Structure 1
Amino acid sequence: MLTYDLYWSFRSPYSYFIASRLRALEEAFEVRCNVRPVFPIAVRTPEFFEGRDPLWFSYFMADIRREAEFLGLPMRWPRPDPVYRAPDGSYPAEQPLIHRLTYLGVAAAERGRGLPFLDEVSRVIWSGEITDWHEGDHVRRATERAGLDHDELVAAADSDSERYRAIIEESQAAQRAGGHYGVPMMVFDGEPFFGQDRFDQLKWRMEQKGLKRRTPA
């Protein structure tokens, strides 16, 4: 069984773009994804955005719209944004939405349903089909579609948040050691593949290492 590490953020549209492909890959082939959710750059290193050329943001927005169209995926910037930005442009240390989401992602991974959870929840956040995705039962239903008990997952994230934060910090250190700081990043056999547009190269490398289709049940 081939394995790889996935570094992934709930605030990254590019992470949303690749989730369904990675999920389908694991369902069809003998490969296991070690899901390692991380906090987004805006939370880890908010100074990353300081001094950026204005063209960086305008190109980014144009690119994610084009890429969503190319992949045939619905997309709208989340309402609300999983990361809260203050009126003065700063990112407060307290980030209840993205912290909770990331803890839940770690908990889902521990229960062997990491990829389905990332895929289902990111669709709720990024598809544009739901406004106020954080209210009501939207995340609950996504969690259940991923094959998980929502109440049990939330209870685990709330009662053991310090342990989950430590796991996320370990993943963030491992991500940099793996070769990049951005998401999504896959590390297979010691080789980093940064970006959702590296999916085909990742699969190509796996095929070189003996990737096999799963035997139908």
Structure 2
Amino acid sequence: MLSFDCFWSFRSPYSYLLMPRLEALLRDHDVTCRMHIVRPIAVRQASFFSNADPLWTGYLLRDTMRTAEFLGMPFRWPRPDPVVMDRATRTYPAEQPYIHRLSRLGQLACERGAGVAFAAAVSRLLWDGGTDDWHIGDHLARAVAPLGLDLAEMDAAVAAEGERLAAAIVENEADQRAAGHYGVPLMAFRDEPFFGQDRLDQLIWRLRQAGMTTRAVE
């Protein structure tokens, strides 16, 4: 069976916007996806946004809202933002409790064969606008429970294996660059990178060229 890689971040709106179509691809075709969780660029390179052209952020917000509308997906920036930011100075403190927890949980889910499903469920919780304070209470636990995942057990595993999981995520980031790009979502198939949610159709085109078939309906 054909397979491809996907490098993905919980803070990326475009990663969220990709997920329903990625899930449909995997559901309807004989192909598998190796999900790799990476940290957001704001955490890996804290000066990235403070050095960006002022037009960059405005366009990002407009384009993500437009893309969500085009795809028929609910969309709102998470509350709270998974990455803690000082908006006055456009800087990011070293302490980042939310994104490190999410990323390590995501890495653990990938290792347990539930990476895509976990990323999809959690990204909906963060980005679809239906939940405030996603980080407290039972919001996360309820989001992943239908997948057969026990959040309390996973949090305990993250606490026990945090350094190993963090190292695995750093390794994912090295593999991401080796695949041909530093951004997310990034799909890679046979040494060819496909950067952005708007490149999924081209990935599907390549997979079909390589012999991907529609999954038989049972």
**Following the alignment from structure 2 to structure 1, what is the Cα–Cα distance between the partners of residues 14 and 37?**
14
What residue in structure 2 maps to residue 14 of structure 1?
14
What residue in structure 2 maps to residue 106 of structure 1?
107
Tell whether the 8 Å contact from 1:104 to 1:154 is kept in structure 2 after alignment.
yes
**Following the alignment from structure 2 to structure 1, what is the Cα–Cα distance between the partners of residues 156 and 60?**
36
1:70 aligns with 2:70: yes
Tell whether the 8 Å contact from 1:26 to 1:33 is kept in structure 2 after alignment.
yes
Q: Give the alignment of 1:27-38 within 5 angstroms.
A: 27-38=27-38
What residue in structure 1 maps to residue 149 of structure 2?
148
Please give the root-mean-square deviation of Cα atoms over the aligned residues, in Å: 1.2
Paired positions, count: 217
Which SS does the other structure have where 1:166 is aligned?
helix
**Following the alignment from structure 1 to structure 2, what is the Cα–Cα distance between the partners of residues 179 and 17?**
21
Q: Note the residue ranges of structure 1 that are not aligned, 5 or more in a row.
A: none
Tell whether the 8 Å contact from 1:120 to 1:145 is kept in structure 2 after alignment.
no
Which SS does the other structure have where 2:47 is aligned?
helix
**Following the alignment from structure 1 to structure 2, what is the Cα–Cα distance between the partners of residues 69 and 147?**
31
Percentage of identical aligned residues: 54
What residue in structure 2 maps to residue 25 of structure 1?
25
Q: CA deviation at 1:202?
A: 0.6
1:198 aligns with 2:194: no
Which SS does the other structure have where 1:46 is aligned?
coil
Q: CA deviation at 1:146?
A: 2.7
The one-letter code sitting in structure 2 at the alignment partner of 1:31 is V
What residue in structure 1 maps to residue 44 of structure 2?
44
Q: Note the residue ranges of structure 2 that are not aligned, 5 or more in a row.
A: none
1:117-152 Cα shifts (integer Å, max 9, x gaps): 111100000001111111111111111123322222
The one-letter code sitting in structure 1 at the alignment partner of 2:41 is I
TM-score normalised by length of structure 1: 0.96
Which SS does the other structure have where 1:131 is aligned?
coil
**Following the alignment from structure 1 to structure 2, what is the Cα–Cα distance between the partners of residues 162 and 178?**
24
What residue in structure 1 maps to residue 163 of structure 2?
162
**Following the alignment from structure 2 to structure 1, what is the Cα–Cα distance between the partners of residues 152 and 89?**
36
Q: CA deviation at 1:90?
A: 2.0
Q: CA deviation at 1:70?
A: 0.3
Tell whether the 8 Å contact from 2:179 to 2:188 is kept in structure 1 after alignment.
yes
Q: CA deviation at 1:160?
A: 0.2
Q: CA deviation at 1:213?
A: 2.1
TM-score normalised by length of structure 2: 0.96
